[in-house]
Amino acid sequence: MAAPDRLVSVIGLFTLERPVWGVDDAAEALDVSVSSVYRYFATLCEAGFLATETPGQYVLGPAFIQYDRQIRLTDPLLAAARPVMADLVTYAPDGSTAVLARVFEDKVICVHQVVGRGPQPQVSYARGRPMPLFRGATSKIILAHLPPRQLKRLYQRNAATIAETEMGRDLASFRETLASMRRAGVVVTRHEIDPDRVGIAAPVFSSDRRILGSLSVIVGEDDVDQRLARLQALTIGCAGDIETALAAISPKGNASGASEAV
């Protein structure tokens, strides 16, 4: 494994379940020498990606905070999506939440959330929280548009989970399930992630029709039955509005006009 890959592997050790690592444990987990891990930790600390507040114990460093702010202010997808999502929740029932998500490894991660009017339970798709790829409309509509080779690899690694979620007992049936989602252009799921909540999600594409992520509106189950067709059309239309706005943003644009409000 090349040194840059090792550095990425070191960062990958730090999770919510285990946010603090020592050199000896990291060396064992990565199957490398302690001296190598010392070098990796020193390099990452110097760059601000790791920090140590207790001798010998390392945590993620302040560089991630800096880059998170930069993403919030300069990411073209976020810039395109924010005003559209703010409009979306005004037309959705009270207590709705709009979610923008992207694929991340074998998971989906929320990159922006807009909460609508009225009291409501917190939804699980919070910014920065990885969510399962095979459950929930927000995730499934992204899954449906991934390239065939990637879908094959995902199936090979997750066949049991895919069967459990009734998305296919074999690769052929899995592909057919996803093809039906693509034809529909929208996915609707009921309480697959949060109880008493319904997710309605549409894909968001780049200008060359690569899947970038999904836009979803999450509503209370009592608000859906008489409004489902309207909410589906609304979500699809708003996803298209994001694509149009994104196409109008120059890739060389700067953060002028970007707001600190998130």
- Please identify, among 35, 61, 87, the residue that sits at the C-terminal boundary of a domain: 61
Asked if 132 and 15 sit in the same domain, the reply is: no
Query: Is there a domain that residue 81 lies in?
Result: yes
- Please identify, among 13, 35, 61, the residue that sits at the C-terminal boundary of a domain: 61
Q: What CA–CA distance (Å, rounded) separates 67 from 37?
A: 24
Query: Is there a domain that residue 115 lies in?
Result: yes
* Domain tally, the chain: 2
Asked if 150 and 208 sit in the same domain, the reply is: yes
Asked if 149 and 53 sit in the same domain, the reply is: no
Q: What is the pLDDT of residues 199-223, one digit of tens each?
A: 999 999 999 999 999 999 999 888 7
Asked if 126 and 221 sit in the same domain, the reply is: yes
Q: What is the pLDDT of residues 17-76, one digit of tens each?
A: 999 999 999 999 999 999 999 999 999 999 999 999 888 999 999 999 999 999 999 999
The yes-or-no verdict on residue 259 having pLDDT over 60 is: no
For 119, residues 6+ apart whose C-beta sits below 8 A from its C-beta are 95
What would the mean pLDDT of 224-252 be, rounded to a whole number? 89
Query: Is there a domain that residue 254 lies in?
Result: no
pLDDT of amino acid 242: 97
What would the mean pLDDT of 147-166 be, rounded to a whole number? 94
Q: How confident is the model at residue 178 (pLDDT cuts 50, 70, 90)?
A: very high
The yes-or-no verdict on residue 87 having pLDDT over 80 is: yes
Residue 135's domain spans which residues? 72-248
The whole-model pTM stands at 0.87
Query: Is there a domain that residue 126 lies in?
Result: yes
pLDDT of amino acid 119: 79
Query: Is there a domain that residue 255 lies in?
Result: no
- Please identify, among 14, 41, 61, the residue that sits at the C-terminal boundary of a domain: 61
Give per-residue burial for 57-75: e unless 16+ CB within 10 Å, then b. Answer: ebebbeeeeeeeeeebbeb
Asked if 190 and 211 sit in the same domain, the reply is: yes
The yes-or-no verdict on residue 255 having pLDDT over 50 is: no
The yes-or-no verdict on residue 226 having pLDDT over 90 is: no
Asked if 184 and 236 sit in the same domain, the reply is: yes
**% of residues, the chain, pLDDT over 70:** 93
Question: In this structure, what CATH number is given to the domain that contains residue 104?
Answer: 3.30.450.40
Question: In this structure, what CATH number is given to the domain that contains residue 20?
Answer: 1.10.10.10
Asked if 57 and 116 sit in the same domain, the reply is: no
